[in-house]
Amino acid sequence: MNQTNCTDPKAEFQYYLFPSIYILALIIGLPGNLVALYVFTVRISPRTAFSVYISNLAAADVIILCMLPLRIHYHLHENVWEFGDFACQLTGTLYYANIYMSICFMTCICVDRYMATVHPHTYLRMRNPKWSLLVSVALWCFVLQLLLCYYKPQMFVYLPDPFQSSLLVSFRKTFNS
């Protein structure tokens, strides 16, 4: 009988590749995003919808870049997490929040540019930066609520009356062990 000794293969390249990429992203990304955040929040006057959206995009990127040292440490120590459960959940949550927020703010920039190009008269009436600030706050709240729902046990109940506006009530389940 032919028998071979088979072990689970480890992707050892990740212990060096991921930290190298993360370090490069940290070295280039953190100063670049901090400069962009400074320029678009302090130096640009008057504020425009574009400057509001790009500032929020840079802020989302700065948040995830500040978590990269923990990820670098994790991969350099052969995927052993030494910072506790809270830090693990926080870095994971911020990673996904960054993905969603980046997509949302790039979409906002695209819609803003579309409106300015295709519908310039409507855009001129709506270009008050307070609207972009309101959209930004709403996006942050929406994504943070989604992430909280994902990481906390929730129970969702729809109210039965179909003639009322659909209202979603959520409350935390408590489990007695």
CA angle 87, 72, 41 (to 5 degrees): 75
Q: How many structural domains is the chain composed of?
A: 1
Please report whether residue 4 resides in a domain: no
Top pLDDT among 99 and 32 is at: 32
pLDDT-derived band at 171 (thresholds 50, 70, 90) equals very low
* Alpha helices (H) in 39-174, listed in sequence order: 49-76, 84-118, 120-126, 129-151
Residue 27 maps to which CATH number? 1.20.1070.10
Backbone torsions φ then ψ of 117, nearest 5 degrees: -85, -50
Residues facing 158 on adjacent strands: 168
Q: pLDDT tens digits for 46-102?
A: 888 899 999 999 999 999 999 999 999 999 998 899 999 888 888 888 888 898 899
Tokens 């870049």 belong to residue: 65
Please report whether residue 5 resides in a domain: no
Per-residue tokens: 8: 């689970």
Per-residue tokens: 65: 């870049």
How confident is the model at residue 152, as a pLDDT? Answer: 60
Q: How far apart are CA 104 and CA 96, in angstroms?
A: 12
Top pLDDT among 162 and 118 is at: 118
Domain residues for 133?
A: 14-172
Backbone torsions φ then ψ of 2, nearest 5 degrees: -90, 120
